[in-house]
Structure 1
């Protein structure tokens, strides 16, 4: 007798999916359907729901591309989502059922990117073990830089020296509802000038997402004489805050305004009781595989290196 029933997500599952995300052990607001679907035109969704005795036990945010299934490519991280009461042995059984379901649907390869462990105090590493036991290979490993806010901060003396100097300048920090100043006057022009790229989120997309998740997406900006010179867009979850975007104008570079913002926000979220300040990965396509200047900057802000892993499983 088959224990689990697995089926593909459809729009009628909107409420049950989101209710499950709100209770899950290892989910963030990125798995809410309103976040996942802001760019649904770019990805062919193939998210899965796993039921046992008509009760939802797990979900897998995913999309398909050819004969491959991806732990959703439109999200920074993903993986199997489940409740804390679900024990490891049951998680293993669910994974095997998912793999069987995918093979039945003619998929040949699964690409899986779990959320970094520091997001969850209960841990989330059992699936990595089960994947490797079933022949998954670690296709890619990135260095994820984050500040542990539960221990004394380790911001470098040089950063703090500049911070104290900047404190005496006439810089103001605001939490802004309107994302236009940062996107239009700092982020977009600087990315274009320095790297010839655009932000992953357009101004319209990030504005829409902020309207749907006002408690999770926040904009902090630094001004001097009413001119915006730096900004950081924060994605805030239960235990972790992530600097999704950070940029400074040429004037802001002169005043080290971005560092000033980061140090203020690190202290702010430590006081709020957050566990980690996530500053993202530092990977780059060069001979080293990472950006040396970026890792140095983040380590001087108190970051340590954690792993973000990417698995590939032939089904």
Structure 2
């Protein structure tokens, strides 16, 4: 008989947790404590769990925090990360999943939670198939509370021909007009462009402050990079990428200076980034979601731009369970 047991995370498991995530079937650095702990103490009420088998072998970790939804207390995938999910051992099996999920439900009931929300890691980040998690969640009554759509390009395809005619024309135009691309350390100058862009278009601010990006960059010096477009030695656009694991380049922030829109800097930027990713052996370039309000609004222009490079849709699903 398969048995598993849950343990509340403490700082004593910090190193064990991070080593497990780095060697897991579906983890990214967003589930590492090194990433999660950059948030100031007290911002989130951590309720993360470790999952052990009967021989005290670590099978899974569940990064989570307590949230509020009206009067309901929610056991939620960590709010400070794009995805949280259940990160599993590479030899985690269906029986483990079928045993774990009802145990998680009981744990949340016993601790006064009224709802569970699990935001799974998209499949393109998996180094092993692990749909047994999706199956077990659905089998025991979880349902998709929101479905968002990201766009990703499979870099192992022949991407030289993946870009459409319009994208290829804009790539040539940018290069001809003197735009050039390089990895940059001008985070402050890029953050000014990004902030102005978000304010003008959406009356919004970046999710992270520049100071937080510096902290994360210090924690992941090779995992966070800024690729920028330049014109006459001036930065005019860029993309901040998170190399979340050895499979996927995640485009976290994308922006350009509107005054240089006619130069089409982002087209050349992604052309160069795609080539860089292929040479480094990454499997996918993930542009992130082009849906808003938990999938209720579709930004057709963004999808058109990303699909112009050959990108295709990748689901990001959040599962919910309502407790009595």
- Shorter-chain TM range is over 0.9
Structure 2 residue 284 is the aligned partner of structure 1 residue 276:
yes
- Match in the other structure for 1:132: 138
Structure 2 residue 307 is the aligned partner of structure 1 residue 306:
no
- What are the ranges of 5 or more consecutive residues in structure 1 without an aligned counterpart? none
Work out the CA distance in 2 between the residues paired with 1:238 and 1:221. 22
Larger deviation: 8-17 or 37-46?
37-46
The DSSP-based 3-state class of the residue aligned with 1:13 is helix
- Match in the other structure for 2:179: 171
Q: 4+ residue stretches of structure 1 with deviation over 4 A?
A: 285-288
Work out the CA distance in 1 between the residues paired with 2:129 and 2:5. 26
The DSSP-based 3-state class of the residue aligned with 1:267 is helix
- Structure 1 residues 1-315: aligned runs within 5 Å: 3-40=3-40, 41-52=42-53, 53-66=55-68, 67-153=73-159, 154-184=162-192, 186-236=193-243, 237-285=245-293, 289-315=297-323
Work out the CA distance in 2 between the residues paired with 1:95 and 1:60. 11
Shift of 1:231: 0.6
Shift of 1:254: 1.8
Shift of 1:267: 1.8
Work out the CA distance in 1 between the residues paired with 2:126 and 2:44. 27
Q: Return the TM-score normalized by structure 2.
A: 0.92
Work out the CA distance in 1 between the residues paired with 2:295 and 2:142. 26
Work out the CA distance in 2 between the residues paired with 1:145 and 1:224. 28
Work out the CA distance in 1 between the residues paired with 2:242 and 2:225. 7
| CA contact 2:179–2:263 (8 Å) conserved in 1 | no
Shift of 1:3: 3.5
Aligned length: 314
Shift of 1:286: 11
Work out the CA distance in 2 between the residues paired with 1:273 and 1:286. 32
Q: Return the TM-score normalized by structure 1.
A: 0.94
Distance 1:142 1:2, change over 3 A: closer
Question: Could you list the per-position Cα deviations for residues 16-52 of structure 1 after superposition, in whole angstroms to 9, with x for gaps in the alignment?
Answer: 1112112211111111112112224432111101122
- What are the ranges of 5 or more consecutive residues in structure 2 without an aligned counterpart? none
| CA contact 2:74–2:113 (8 Å) conserved in 1 | yes
Shift of 1:156: 0.8
Work out the CA distance in 1 between the residues paired with 2:301 and 2:178. 28
Question: Could you list the per-position Cα deviations for residues 106-130 of structure 1 after superposition, in whole angstroms to 9, with x for gaps in the alignment?
Answer: 1121011111111124223211111
Shift of 1:160: 0.4
Work out the CA distance in 2 between the residues paired with 1:265 and 1:19. 29
